Amino acid sequence: MAAITGQQFLDRLRKNPPTLYIDGERISDPTTHPSTRNMCQSLAGLYDLQHQPELKDALTYEDGGERHAISFMVPRSKDDLRRIGEAHRIRANYSLGFLGRAPDYMNANVMAAGLGAEYFGQCDASRPGSGNRDFAANMRRYYEHVRDNDLCLTHALTNPQVNRAKQASEMPDPYIALGVVEETEEGVIVRGARMMATLPIADEILVFPSTVLKENADKSRYAMGFGIPTNTPGLSFQCREPIDVGRDPEDHPLASRFDEQDAFVIFDDVLIPWERVFLLYDVELANKAYSGTDAVLHMAYQVVNLKIAKTEAFLGTAQSIVDAIGSGQFQHVQSKVAEIIVMLEIMKGLEAAAREGAQPNQYGVMTPARGPLDAARNYYPANHARLPELLQLLGASGIIMMPSKADREGPLGEQIAKYLQAGRATAEERLKLFRLAWDMSMSSFAGRQTLYERYFFGDPVRMHSALYEVFDKQPYVERIHAFLERENRHEAVAADD
């Protein structure tokens, strides 16, 4: 099938709908249900982009006579990375960067894991050459399966937030956290739950470890990796309350299109076929799965490009507000817009540094440099909240006093057109713009985005700690020591000489 169209994606969802629950109801067809149909249509539009004649070469590549989404392409050169990065930004621009888990994010994951499949072959539970229990072969085949069918994946990383002071095995039920119950001839049976699956409106779910497992034993029931369809028997997604409440896109321009949903995932004795198992019981391999395959770096590269697109959207909206109400001559206004420009250029610089510093990894994959990506992964979550705040400061009360589209077309339409016009925009133009600013900065959609960005890469404290541990600080320490010990007769002499 290779690169699919939007209609093919919708048809596939109708045929094999994920097991979603929203507001106490099982969603039998996500393409028609009021809480999910708009997101399905947006995803369909995202898939249709790769078939637009002017974008075909930018978003797809040819391999074996088939065209695949370029996010599956194995980068062998820096130019390949450049092409992949440009494709990430094109896709991100479709949602103004507000679709946090677009399919290309997980595509980067399975590409890196598939090329680094040897990593999973180290697992003691693997049976190399055995067919369906050869974990390296399983991972390699899974990458090809997802690529060749252009599947949409979600993933679930963390255990339920029950008691952070205790290990998973110390919970009231040892299967609150997802764990292996038993092995069978067909595969492994797992039970428990995982948080948090963003974009559960997907074809399959990939379960990998994210946070470090704290079990003491080398063999742990909680260490696992696998991928299965989202309608697998015993698998359920309990979604949060929808943010898309059925309003006109002019009133809720982002929430009505890009409520990607979040869910916790329940595994009620789910059978994972051996051919879909990639890792089992090995705590050390589980804890290093993303770094050991360099998947974390290719995923981070997608995210950095996504955040560039999102920051550009904030800049464009901020300047549009300034242009509309004629406030650009004030220095405090210029200063606020300049803050966004600085953040944008920092992110663009980090992307360029990661790409230009790329090196082939042990699997022959051209891999972005870790240092700039680690900097971006720590910088953006710490500073993103300033972006919606700046829109609030620039728009002020204008982001509150916003009659709806129905109001503009109602009995007071003429008065609204008169009193809510802007110096350089009609009332309709101004209200559409300010509605977007509101959905970016103040709505429930915006609130979820702000928290999401804060923890997108993980706990910020742990992220800083991880950066401290991996960054090579010694050359700079040695430079300081050398300076302190240096003697140079041409430098300043002591005051008493």
All domains of the chain, ordered by start, with CATH?
Answer: 6-292 (2.40.110.10), 294-480 (1.20.140.10)
Q: What is the pLDDT of residue 116?
A: 98
Q: Which of 373, 387, 395 has its CA nearest to residue 446?
A: 387
Q: What is the pLDDT of residue 490?
A: 64
Q: Is 38 annotated as a binding residue?
A: no
Query: How long is the chain?
Result: 497
Is 118:316 a contact under the CB 8 Å cutoff?
no
Please give the DSSP secondary-structure letter assigned to residue 33: S
Q: Is 146 annotated as a binding residue?
A: no
- CA dist 310 and 316 (Å) reads 10
Say what the pTM is. Answer: 0.94
pLDDT band at residue 495 under the 50/70/90 scheme? low
Q: Is 105 annotated as a binding residue?
A: yes
Is 206:291 a contact under the CB 8 Å cutoff?
no
Tell me what percent of the residues of the chain surpass a pLDDT of 90. Answer: 87
Is 46:9 a contact under the CB 8 Å cutoff?
no
Q: What is the pLDDT of residue 223?
A: 93
pLDDT band at residue 217 under the 50/70/90 scheme? low
Please give the DSSP secondary-structure letter assigned to residue 384: T
Q: Is 377 annotated as a binding residue?
A: no
Handedness of CA 188, 228, 299, 241 (dihedral sign): negative
Q: What is the pLDDT of residue 421?
A: 95
Q: Is 460 annotated as a binding residue?
A: yes
Is 107:143 a contact under the CB 8 Å cutoff?
no
Q: Which of 387, 448, 66 has its CA nearest to residue 259?
A: 448
Which 3 state secondary structure label does DSSP give 281?
A: strand
Answer yes or no: is pLDDT of 218 > 60: no
Q: What is the pLDDT of residue 157?
A: 86
Q: Is 164 annotated as a binding residue?
A: yes
Is 272:228 a contact under the CB 8 Å cutoff?
yes
pLDDT band at residue 494 under the 50/70/90 scheme? low
Q: Is 211 annotated as a binding residue?
A: yes
pLDDT band at residue 130 under the 50/70/90 scheme? confident
Q: What is the pLDDT of residue 169?
A: 79
pLDDT band at residue 462 under the 50/70/90 scheme? confident
Average pLDDT rounded to a whole number, residues 168-184: 90
Q: What is the pLDDT of residue 496?
A: 55
Answer yes or no: is pLDDT of 419 > 80: yes
Tell me what percent of the residues of the chain surpass a pLDDT of 70. Answer: 96
Q: Is 426 annotated as a binding residue?
A: no
- Helix (H) / strand (E) containing 340: helix 331-356
Q: Is 218 annotated as a binding residue?
A: no
Average pLDDT rounded to a whole number, residues 147-160: 94
Q: Is 388 annotated as a binding residue?
A: no
Q: Is 305 annotated as a binding residue?
A: no
- CA dist 30 and 19 (Å) reads 10
Q: What is the pLDDT of residue 489?
A: 61
Answer yes or no: is pLDDT of 140 > 70: yes
Q: Cα-Cα-Cα-Cα dihedral of 360, 365, 368, 369, to 10°?
A: -30
Answer yes or no: is pLDDT of 216 > 90: no
- Helix (H) / strand (E) containing 79: helix 78-94
Q: Is 157 annotated as a binding residue?
A: yes
Q: What is the pLDDT of residue 141?
A: 97
Average pLDDT rounded to a whole number, residues 405-431: 96
Answer yes or no: is pLDDT of 164 > 80: no
Average pLDDT rounded to a whole number, residues 341-345: 98
Q: What is the mean pLDDT of the chain?
A: 94
Say how many Å lie between the first and final Cα of the chain, rounded.
Answer: 83
pLDDT band at residue 129 under the 50/70/90 scheme? confident
Is 221:282 a contact under the CB 8 Å cutoff?
no
Q: Which of 394, 33, 98, 410 has its CA nearest to residue 253?
A: 98
Model confidence pLDDT, tens digit, residues 28-69: 999 999 999 999 999 999 999 999 999 999 999 999 899 999
pLDDT band at residue 1 under the 50/70/90 scheme? low
Which 3 state secondary structure label does DSSP give 420?
A: coil
Q: What is the pLDDT of residue 493?
A: 56
Average pLDDT rounded to a whole number, residues 374-384: 96
Which 3 state secondary structure label does DSSP give 286?
A: helix
Q: What is the pLDDT of residue 26?
A: 97
Average pLDDT rounded to a whole number, residues 439-466: 92
Q: Is 462 annotated as a binding residue?
A: yes
Strands 204-207 and 153-156: parallel
The CA-atom distances, in angstroms, between 311 and each of 255, 317, 391 are 18, 10, 12
Q: What is the pLDDT of residue 458?
A: 82
